[in-house]
Structure 1
Amino acid sequence: MLALLAIALAISMAILDGAIVNVALPVMAKDLAVSPGAAIFVVNSYQIAVTASLLPLASLGDILGYRRVYLSGLAVFTAASVACALSPSLNLLIAARIAQGLGAAGIMSVNIALVRFIYPHRMIGRGVGNVALVVAVASAAGPTVAAAILSVAAWPWLFLVNLPVGLLALLVGSRTLPATPRSGARFDAPSALLNALTFGLLIIGIDGVGAPEERGLALVEIAGALVVGAAFVWYQLRLPAPLLPVDLLRIPAFALSMATSIASFASQMMAYIALPFYFQDVLRLSETRTGFLLTPWPLAIAAMAPLSGRLADRFPPGILGGIGLGTMALGLTGMALLPPEPSALDIAWRLTLCGLGFGLFQSPNNKVIITSAPRERSGGASGMQSTARLTGQSLGAALVAVLFGLSHGAGPAEPVSLSLWCAVALAAMGALASVLRRKPAG
């Protein structure tokens, strides 16, 4: 249906722009005459802007309507993409990336909430599965899309391609996305500020943990995030409709689904980061071969996501999620126990198992997150779903960086093995949290 097409186009752009820039960082640094270390903030600024603004924009969705926030975020994202392409300096590019991240947060914060109003209740699992499919394909396609564009054009075209896609999504969305109820509440600016400080300091701190020379400052930033976060939670507990939906976290199914989501995405990210080092430093494979070997995981997610969405409409989501993450843990265990000289088939079937398991888990888990919340709090639930994903990914990346730092001087296989076993533990904990949700949502 056309409403889902509008969501799919916008989500694809937001997900892709979180990944495709990585490939172009070296040439960006050269063209803008800056160091590689400084250029990395082109990536980090986007991530920080998205994470820090997800919950405030989800709250605005409850207040103003999800359609309005979604289309406004899409318009900002599209305009900021053009600004990124035209930026003549690093500072202007970073400013445009922050604006682009704010637009992406507008898209991500309410997309699942909109699905609740597009699909009838009996088909919500199918709708969530379709969105999960889009996210999986966009995540998998990031490096390939970037390489294809850079093979025929300069790096600004990584951003300019968003212009026609964004305009098409705006046209379709403005005609098809449903109007949703408005809460009539007032926007809580102090909560938004505390939220931005908490998640901003946390993400900056996590990003710095992996660098030994920055670790002291990073730990201070993380400690600051915990202090501000404690004040943030205390303030939210006093509010009838908090920006940080602590009221939703009192719902056992919602809280367990959030914990499961964070654990699963942290596990996935640990494997995604560690495995390229194993393929290239241990097996001595090329970058191209590494990319090829990693492909079965996202392809399996894309194949499983629509099916798992339909299963979530018929069977208890908690059980499906537990089976999915248990399967993912088995695949990761297989990767950790690979023989010294594995064949491509040895690797492919294990990574396929990981992808099938994660794909089976994701749609049912997202369905529980959105349907265990009251209908009028769908924006807060949707924002928390995206926040859990980004938090889990950031924690997974930080854990890999710490393990590689602690294993300095050891052989290249040791930190990879430690990372994979930690990923197994996280997937197993997520599976346990999932099956504790005894009743199907809704």
Structure 2
Amino acid sequence: MQQHDQDGLPQPQRRGAVIAIAVSIALSVMDSSIANVALPTIAADLRVEPAEAILVVNAYQIAVIMSLLPLASLGEKLGYERIYRCGLMLFIASSFFCAMAGSLTELTLARVAQGFGAAGLMSVNTALVRLIYPQRLLGQGMGINALVVATSSVLGPGVASAVLSVAHWPWIFALNIPIGLAALTLALRFLPATPRASRRFDAGSALLSAGTFGMLMTGAEQLARGAPPVRALLLLAGGVLCGILLWRRQSGRAAPLLPVDLLRIPIFALSVATSVGSFMAQMMTFVALPFFLQHDLGRTQVETGLLMMPWPLALIVMSPLAGRASDRVPAGLLGGVGLACMAAGLALLATLPAAPNTFDIGWRMALCGLGFGLFQTPNNRTLLTAAPRERSGGASGMLSTARLTGQTLGAALAALCLRMVDGGPQLALLGASCIAAAAALISFTRLRAAPR
């Protein structure tokens, strides 16, 4: 087993570790959106309203975001590779129960367990990348990892469409099992031993962190679903209270579970805020589009997945170009321009003509993907390199927390739009456009916060 005091892993161990991480993180990120295309079918099959079916997406997101920072901190104590392997095992097992679910309650509980497993992967993913690659190749490793995450986050609908063209919706989740087992085999063999911190794990802060994010996100989700306002407001108030207590408990600590030390770095904090906004806009879009394309435009679920594919394809093309450009161009500028393009593409999607052809939809989706790709890789690189190397776990957890916070809030806002008005999908797309534009403005402010 490779020791953590060496500069990266030798070949072929590095290659095996990279493949294990890439495959498993792709599965966990993809599952945040893979069910979106099937939501209308799941709602009909399980005899629930469309706004209720969105709980299949939100339950996963909430479980992940509740446990990300505690697991990142636990990884620094027990070893990143142990958290990663255990998370992958839980993800595989819960995918089986998702596929076997016969009611919305069963599917939701299985998705919660799946989210906890995914959090084990996401929380320490970037920290492992920093140990797998030698310092001279660290930029390359981060670029590959950012591309996998960014692509996977929008590839879910296309994969779901391919599965649904030949099978029923449970197979969307069953697909994780053989692929996950292959990744687990590689992870058990190739992931390196990682440093173990001598400090004690702060269980009190972990509970406060879970309470903060869990109650805030659940409260937002309850409001979106039309739950009694008193219940939702109590959850939101509880989340705010836990957050205040967590902030006070963590302030002044050398390596806090909630990385308040990193959030005091302007470029880090602005990059986190930009990431939250971008993923809010993305998730609002990917929840609303299936309903828009299938219910309003009369497309099939297979056609829906294919029509959404230009976004990830454009992202795949743009991400490596953006990564190379970030060596010379400030991330604040690249991110601002990229998010402005995304905002324009979303506004154009919301204002499609009554009977658009495939090209009308496709080029608008591609514009969104190009903009998101121009933003994502430079933003991730800036966020991660702003943190000291010894705080890799905290930075990795915060990067994933920002993404999941945005995705969870975006899904809740999309559900609110779908529930409140007849033209809900178009309203969600316009809202996503406004959020992307606001994130672009935040990105531009980074030009004054740091030279890169």
Q: Which interval holds the TM-score relative to the shorter structure?
A: 0.7 to 0.9
Letter in 2 for 1:189: A
2:399 pairs with one of 380, 385, 410: 385
Instruction: Structure 1 unaligned segments of length 5 or more: list them.
Output: none
- Residue 62 (structure 1) aligns with: 76
How far apart, CA to CA, are the structure 2 residues paired with 1:4 and 1:366? 18
Contact 1:113 / 1:370 at 8 angstroms: preserved in 2? no
Does the alignment pair 1:82 with 2:96?
Answer: yes
- Residue 16 (structure 1) aligns with: 30
1:164 pairs with one of 162, 170, 178: 178
1:121-132 matches, within 5 Å, as 121-132=135-146
- Residue 112 (structure 2) aligns with: 98
Letter in 2 for 1:439: P
* Farther-moved stretch of structure 1 (387-396 vs 168-177): 168-177
Q: Percent identity?
A: 54
How far apart, CA to CA, are the structure 2 residues paired with 1:413 and 1:169? 37
Does the alignment pair 1:272 with 2:286?
Answer: yes
Letter in 2 for 1:62: E
After superposition, the Cα gap between the structure-2 partners of 1:149 and 1:404, relative to the gap in structure 1 and judged at 3 Å, is: closer
- Residue 435 (structure 1) aligns with: 447
- Residue 195 (structure 2) aligns with: 181
Letter in 2 for 1:350: R
After superposition, the Cα gap between the structure-2 partners of 1:16 and 1:272, relative to the gap in structure 1 and judged at 3 Å, is: closer
TM-score, with structure 2 as normaliser? 0.84
* Farther-moved stretch of structure 1 (354-363 vs 33-42): 33-42
After superposition, the Cα gap between the structure-2 partners of 1:354 and 1:160, relative to the gap in structure 1 and judged at 3 Å, is: closer
After superposition, the Cα gap between the structure-2 partners of 1:142 and 1:268, relative to the gap in structure 1 and judged at 3 Å, is: closer
Letter in 2 for 1:349: W
Contact 2:336 / 2:375 at 8 angstroms: preserved in 1? yes
Does the alignment pair 1:203 with 2:217?
Answer: yes
After superposition, the Cα gap between the structure-2 partners of 1:337 and 1:95, relative to the gap in structure 1 and judged at 3 Å, is: closer
- Residue 4 (structure 2) aligns with: none
Does the alignment pair 1:365 with 2:379?
Answer: yes
State the 1:377 CA deviation.
Answer: 1.0
Between the two proteins, the alignment pairs up a number of residues equal to 437
- Residue 263 (structure 2) aligns with: 249
State the 1:387 CA deviation.
Answer: 0.6
Contact 2:155 / 2:309 at 8 angstroms: preserved in 1? no
The 3-state SS of whatever aligns with 2:317 is helix
> What is the root-mean-square deviation in Å for CA atoms of aligned residues?
3.2
What is the CA deviation profile of residues 129-167 of structure 1, one whole-angstrom value per residue up to 9, with x for unaligned ones?
Answer: 322332344333323433444555555544443332222
After superposition, the Cα gap between the structure-2 partners of 1:146 and 1:272, relative to the gap in structure 1 and judged at 3 Å, is: closer
Contact 2:417 / 2:424 at 8 angstroms: preserved in 1? no
What is the CA deviation profile of residues 272-329 of structure 1, one whole-angstrom value per residue up to 9, with x for unaligned ones?
Answer: 3444555556656555544443322221112212222233345433333233223323
1:273-288 matches, within 5 Å, as 273-276=287-290, 279=293, 287-288=301-302
Contact 1:304 / 1:359 at 8 angstroms: preserved in 2? yes
TM-score, with structure 1 as normaliser? 0.86
Letter in 2 for 1:142: G
Contact 1:274 / 1:419 at 8 angstroms: preserved in 2? no
Contact 2:77 / 2:197 at 8 angstroms: preserved in 1? yes
Letter in 1 for 2:75: G
- Residue 62 (structure 2) aligns with: 48
1:225 pairs with one of 231, 239, 252: 239
After superposition, the Cα gap between the structure-2 partners of 1:213 and 1:90, relative to the gap in structure 1 and judged at 3 Å, is: closer
How far apart, CA to CA, are the structure 2 residues paired with 1:106 and 1:425? 32
The 3-state SS of whatever aligns with 1:20 is coil
How far apart, CA to CA, are the structure 2 residues paired with 1:105 and 1:226? 22
How far apart, CA to CA, are the structure 1 residues paired with 2:89 and 2:17? 16
How far apart, CA to CA, are the structure 2 residues paired with 1:405 and 1:346? 27
How far apart, CA to CA, are the structure 1 residues paired with 2:148 and 2:388? 26
State the 1:364 CA deviation.
Answer: 1.1
State the 1:2 CA deviation.
Answer: 2.4
